[in-house]
Each structure stands twice: as C-alpha cells, then as structure tokens.
Amino acid sequence: MDRSQGFNEGIDSWETVMFLYNSALKEVATKVDILNDEFVHVHKYNPIEYIKSRIKKPESIVKKLRRNGYESTIDNMVSHVKDIAGIRIVCSFTSDIYRLAEMIGKQNDLTVISVKDYIRHPKDSGYKSFHMIVTVPIFLSDRVVNTKVEIQIRTIAMDFWASLEHKIYYKFEGNAPDYISEDLRECAEIVADLDAKMLQLNDAILEAREQQFSGG
C-alpha cells in the first residue's frame, strides 16, 4: 500500500510545515555529508569547503507570495515557494560543482524537480550559482511526505560575491543606483576570472604531481 502523499495533503498548520522542512534539511544535509566522505575515501580529496542550511523566514515567504500575486496561505506557500528549505554547498572549484550536482542527482530517494544553471547562464546582475530543486521523502509514523529542498552549489568566490550583493541590495531595498549595479557586474566578471584561474592552477598542480610520481 502506497503511503506517500503530496506536501499539501493533511498539512494544516505552520508547525507541521516547519517540522517537515526542517526534517528535509536534515535528510539532504546527511546525504551530502556522506557523498563528501565517500569522495574523500575514493579520491583523497574534499570537494566541499562548507555547507549552510536555512529555513526561509515567515516575512520573506509572505513577501514572495505577495510579489507573485498569491494570498498568504499555507497551501500557497508550499505550492508556490520552492526555496523555503535551502542548503548551500560551497566548493573550491567550478568542476566540483558539476561533479556534486551529478552525484546528488543519482540519489535514488531524491527526485530532481528542476535545475537552473546560473554559472553557464548568469543572471543579469552577474549572479552565478547552480540551483537544484529536489524532493526528499520524509517518513512519518502514518505516511510519507515528499518535501521540497532547494540546493545551491557554488564556489567560495561566487558565495562571497552573492553575499555582498545581497547586503548591498538590501540596503537599497532592491533599488540600487545604476553605477552600483554596473560595479557589481564588473566584480562578478573578476570573480569568474579568479575561479577560472584557480581551476587552471589546480589542474596544473595535479598534472605536475602525476608526472612526478610517474617519474616523467
């Protein structure tokens, strides 16, 4: 007998919603930790610098619903706000991002709902990151609830830029002067150049080590 349910079924209180999203964050964070440990075990290399997780604040959820023309109801919240539960994975190099995304996508009990590659296709602001929306089954005593989690994967440099961009735009309440936006886009290009250079340097180091150990 299939006990799985969509999120909206039987979800009638804020406390239940928050319990499910917090549980989903724990599930996904554990999976990512295990993948990282396996990678270290197999390749002797740690692709993840650090992981951050958060639950979107109620006022942010309400603001997003109103901005998109929805009433502030629990039903609308779980249907139309896909990033209530979020995990950010910060890597050393851009190559790690796609490697991790592929590993996450192959997890049998995670379902990838959507992918947005803002690295190959940056936002107009210059923002870069790799986004995945997944659902993870939360096993309760009487049913299984598939719960959405947004996963963001980015480099240290991308995370630094995104954090400062958020703070700057927050001060201007989203209406920063044009010259600020232009400077931010220039900084995003500098960050992209830095990421590319660091990846190139890492590849060169790995190649040099291989030649050293092979006696070449």
Active-site amino acid positions: 150
Length of the chain: 216
Pairing of strands 111-117, 48-55: unpaired
Return the residue matching tokens 């609830």.
Answer: 145
Structural tokens at position 4: 């799985």
Task: Calculate the alpha carbon distances from 210 to 28, 46, 196, 206, 213 in Å.
Answer: 35, 18, 21, 6, 5
Burial class (CB in 10 A: 0-12, 13-18, 19+), 181: middle
